[in-house]
Amino acid sequence: MTSSKKISLYNTLTRKKEDFFPMDKKEVLMYTCGPTVYNYPHIGNYRAYIFADTLKRVLEYGGYKVNHIMNLTDIDDKTIRDSQKEGKTLKEFTEFFAEEFFKDIKSLNIENPTKFTKATDYIDQMVEIIQKLLKNKLAYKSDDGSIYFDIKKFKSYGKLSGLVLENQKENASGRIKSDEYDKDNAQDFALWKAWDEKDGKNFWETELGKGRPGWHIECSAMSMANLGEQIDIHTGGVDNIFPHHENEIAQSEGATGKPFVKYWLHNEWVLVDHKKMAKSEKNFYTLRDLSDKGIDPVAYRFWLLMANYRTRVNFVWEALEGAEIALKRLFNLYNELGAEIGKVSKEYQHKFKEFIGDDLDTPRALTLLWDIFKDESISNADKKATVLDFDKVLGLGFADLKTEKIPEEVAKLAEARDKARQNKDFKKSDELRKEINSLGYEVKDTADGQKISKI
């Protein structure tokens, strides 16, 4: 996509689709809330990372350089709780799940961001922001030494999530130490948690006292340290809007006095039985469950791309299996194109840019793949070049496909079938086709002759 091709994105902050204009024309500053490394992420979590990856690819396809940061939360309530259950140090426990996450994203064709950041590497930066908030009288220290953000003193609190503080329940005006809570329970949130016995050895001795950071301050610190005080894009799932992203805005803007993020983008949930997939509900699947069923993780990526990222999708195994069949069909069609790579079709590329530039309309972009394979006015070499061009955004892995060698037995049967057709012996031709099918292959008659592919 050239600079003449606009990209429009739905901004959660303004609640409308807007044309994208980064602060710097040459480089986009982008931050993604990554995983809390206390368990294997479920496939619903991976929608956020596939979405962020697709967005980054669209921007790069449009000619932008993208400086993309993704964090790993390796210190919070859950990592401490579960590392202690396992009898492991926090570092040992979280590093294991971080490595598993890296393997998973590779299997989903998710490109690495510019940098992964671990929360525990940014304690000094967190302390610095909290000190600014104390100085600006937006934060205060409680009796136990913990430090909280005073949400009533930040006048625009609620602007991202639509929360109106005046409408809150009377009892929701105190403090909350938990990292996660809902909008009905909006209270002053913890920036710094004073040490207690349950934390064990997980603490830092700082100017703020002995303790550890709250979850929300972590992302503000990592974003500012790597991208500066103001960024173009912040992504995450809709469940991050409140309280996490709302609190990020309050902390960051409260400390700097500048708008923190220009475009807030959020993907919708993956549902199971029409309920949100969640570990707390025990209704989730991981990529390991897909592997157990012999399903390629890229089929899950393909299934998600079949829906707009802002649409809820209901996960059922039959739908995923159907997506894998369709993806294999596309791969087979690609392999039938031959080895030569020609030129990208400008006509199809124009449509593709239009679709992906319209708030990442991947469902319409995918229909173009089928159209290309059916279009007899384009040479196979040009079809191949065009598909490879589109896959820079889609990330399905066409370039990595290896043309499968047809077994000698199948090749001989196909040759015999071709002779039978030339001799107009269609009965024998059909018999040979069925025999080829029984060996797991199919044969198609095209203008360029027979094409054999695996079923």
Annotated binding site for Zn(2+): 33, 219, 244, 248
Structure tokens at 337: 């194109």
CA atoms of 363 and 308, how far apart (whole Å): 7
CA atoms of 87 and 10, how far apart (whole Å): 44
Amino acid at 316: V
Say which DSSP state 400 is in: G
Say which DSSP state 358 is in: B
User: What are the Cα distances from residue 173, in Å, to 152, 176, 183, 239, 254?
Assistant: 9, 9, 12, 22, 19
Find out whether 45 and 52 touch, Cβ atoms under 8 Å.
no
Three-class DSSP category at 304: helix
Cis peptide bond upstream of 363, omega within 30: no
CA atoms of 121 and 447, how far apart (whole Å): 61
Size (the chain), residues: 455
Find out whether 45 and 304 touch, Cβ atoms under 8 Å.
no
Amino acid at 111: E
Annotated binding site: 33, 219, 244, 248, 279
Displacement of CA 10 from its chain's centroid (Å): 16
Report the C-alpha dihedral over residues 314, 316, 321, 326, rounded to 10 degrees: -20
Backbone φ/ψ region at 219: left (φ over 0), alpha (ψ -120 to 50), beta: alpha
Q: Measured between alpha carbons, how far apart are the two ends of the chain, in Å?
A: 35
Annotated binding site for ATP: 279
User: What are the Cα distances from residue 383, in Å, to 353, 363, 386, 387, 397?
Assistant: 17, 19, 5, 6, 16
Structure tokens at 125: 């930066």
